[in-house]
Structure 1
Amino acid sequence: MNHPETASAGAGKSAFHRGERAVQQRAGVLEKMAARSQVIRTAMPDQHREFFSQLPFMIVGSVDRQQQPWASIMTGPPGFVGSPDAEHLRVHAHALAADPLQQNLAANAAIGLLGIEPHTRRRNRMNGRVEQLDADGWTLKVEQSFGNCPKYIQARRPSTVDNASVAAPQVHRADALDGAMQQLIGSADTFFIATAFLQEQSADGEAGEGGYGADVSHRGGKPGFVRIDDAKTLTVPDFVGNFFFNTIGNLVVHPRAGLLFIDFASGDLIYLAVTTELIWDGPEVASFAGAQRLLRFHVEQAIRVEASLPLRWGAAEFSPALEPMGAWPA
């Protein structure tokens, strides 16, 4: 949902852009979702404002100058994110070393936020634009605020570590997945995906369908649910969700995404820039129990930063929603 017009803005205006509506129609839930537009707000309720303020990290989606989305993580002591009013979030933090967010934060930049507390399986989403950027951090103007269900979240609790001595963490850049990247990704039970809906221009130069925004979302599965087909290709099942189809709807219109993988034990981070192929049905989809469709990611850029994250997590309690789901190989 990267469309600034929400149901609360007036009758007849959809909270969903054409890509999301197309996928909802394909899934047979278009009418049902039109009736649920009231859950998408143009300001944050108090419980969302309080939730963001208690988090030690949040996930950020942004878009670079080449229209490539990237998924990132920002950290700080609880309170590093605050809400001075229901229409703004203030972030007192800076992007981590080698994170593409360093270059993507700019005045009026479209940003997607995911506040997630894994050990309680709570998560809330917020999409907006950078209104202020200064030496202390940045302020985001809210365009959309909405909650997400706890499905597929692995319960793990973070703790802070002192990695101040890592002044210049090792950074590995490639256009394909090296061995260390494949090892982390192949055992992952969680990743984050950033997508974007880009404003179109008509032939006369006027803006087409309104809206330009970034979005970022969580994906969880049994360890190994991200299949490594080769050093340039990943395949992932897409499970049933809330039928908003924010991510899939964005990919229908703009098939590029940013993926973030976290090594919860070491603090290593992998940022991937990918193009995406949607596999709607067929024997490959049917071979993975619980998959509604598949996402095939073609890697364009890969960045691995060693021990970048000043957080560590213990063992995970896997989501009970994953019990009926399949695994690779089928």
Structure 2
Amino acid sequence: MYHPGELAVQQRTGLRERAGHTGRSIGDTIPPVAARFLTERRTLVVGAADGDGRLWATQLSGPAGFLRAADQRTLAVAAGPVPGDPLAAALARPAEVGTIALDPAGRRRMRLNGRSAPDGAGGLLISAAQVYANCPKHIRRRSPADSPARPPAATAADRLTLRQRLAVATADTFFVATAGPDGGVDASHRGGAPGFVEAAGPDELRWPEFAGNAMFMTLGNLELDDRAGLLLPDWETGGGLLLTGRARVDWSDPGAPSVQYRVERVVELTHATALTWTDEEVPAVRR
């Protein structure tokens, strides 16, 4: 069930037994409760590799019902990347993907990893290989709020601007895409008080790894492959900051690992979707 990288991290942290228990929740079909959850969602994070092998994470959005379990093993997505999205070309052909369907209002999420193919109508069909729910920990409560649609735009660079570094330093949420030894892609959520991600320079980020479900899919992948793609959504405008680069895990304290991330490419998308989110929580103070 687990690959060697995941097993190594579980062993290093002393959570191998717990991982074996939680791993029983991973299936390869979409159960009815998950199908209902997907139908109600309005956003899906997708991780994949571009034509040069660089990993990215992006966000697809639509009205409730744009995600649909076509059958027990297939997720239909009635949306695709906007022009300028680094995954637009990759998702226009069959690709290994990792996805997260997120419910910020109810603080719920589920992950579905597998292989996608274009549906011929601008969307995707994803064949499920791994399906499982995640706990609500570190999800900030938000409610959807539609805004007038605006033409999307994309800008690309090799380093973060000062404004982008400030956005990173005040973020409370990001998503990370990593890849396993079999080429399968995983997309995962990270959250914390604003400031939990440090923009140490124009091409360097750092963040702590908080305790989770003990499966260590992200850190297990990074144990064997340091490629990683990050998505920092702009909840207020429907845009997003997409990064691709390399990640190294600092295990000097096995009980509190941290990640150092080297940025190789930056794409900023503005007005990628008309779906925005209002913050329902009082900002936490980082100590």
Same fold (TM over 0.5): yes
Cα distance, 1:217 vs. partner? 0.8
2:170 partner amino acid:
S
Cα distance, 1:110 vs. partner? 0.5
CA distance in 2, matches of 1:312, 1:106: 25
Preserved CA contact (<8 Å) 2:238 2:271: yes
What is the TM-score normalised by the length of structure 1? 0.82
- Matched with 1:238 is 209
Tell me whether 1:74 sits opposite 2:65 in the alignment: no
- Matched with 1:8 is none
CA distance in 2, matches of 1:235, 1:65: 27
User: For 1:224-303, what aligned pairs fall within 5 Å after superposition?
Assistant: 224-281=195-252, 292-303=256-267
Cα distance, 1:267 vs. partner? 2.4
1:259-303 alpha-carbon deviations (Å, 9 max, x no partner): 001121222311000101111125xx9xxxxx8211111000001
Preserved CA contact (<8 Å) 1:115 1:124: yes
Cα distance, 1:184 vs. partner? 1.2
User: For 1:10-159, what aligned pairs fall within 5 Å after superposition?
Assistant: 15-159=1-145
Unaligned residue ranges in structure 2 (runs of 5+): none
Cα distance, 1:107 vs. partner? 4.3
What is the TM-score normalised by the length of structure 2? 0.94
Displaced runs of 4+ in structure 1, greater than 3 A?
none
Identify the structure with the greater strand proportion.
Answer: 2
RMSD of the alignment, in Å?
Answer: 1.9
CA distance in 2, matches of 1:135, 1:18: 39
CA distance in 2, matches of 1:191, 1:245: 17
- Matched with 2:160 is 177
CA distance in 1, matches of 2:256, 2:245: 21
Residues paired across the two proteins, number:
287
Q: Secondary structure at the match of 2:244?
A: strand
| Structure number with larger C-alpha Rg | 1
Cα distance, 1:318 vs. partner? 6.2
Tell me whether 1:305 sits opposite 2:269 in the alignment: yes
1:20 partner amino acid:
E
Preserved CA contact (<8 Å) 1:106 1:133: no
CA distance in 2, matches of 1:53, 1:101: 24
Preserved CA contact (<8 Å) 1:269 1:309: no
Preserved CA contact (<8 Å) 1:75 1:93: yes
**Identical columns (%):** 34
Preserved CA contact (<8 Å) 1:123 1:147: yes
CA distance in 1, matches of 2:78, 2:153: 25
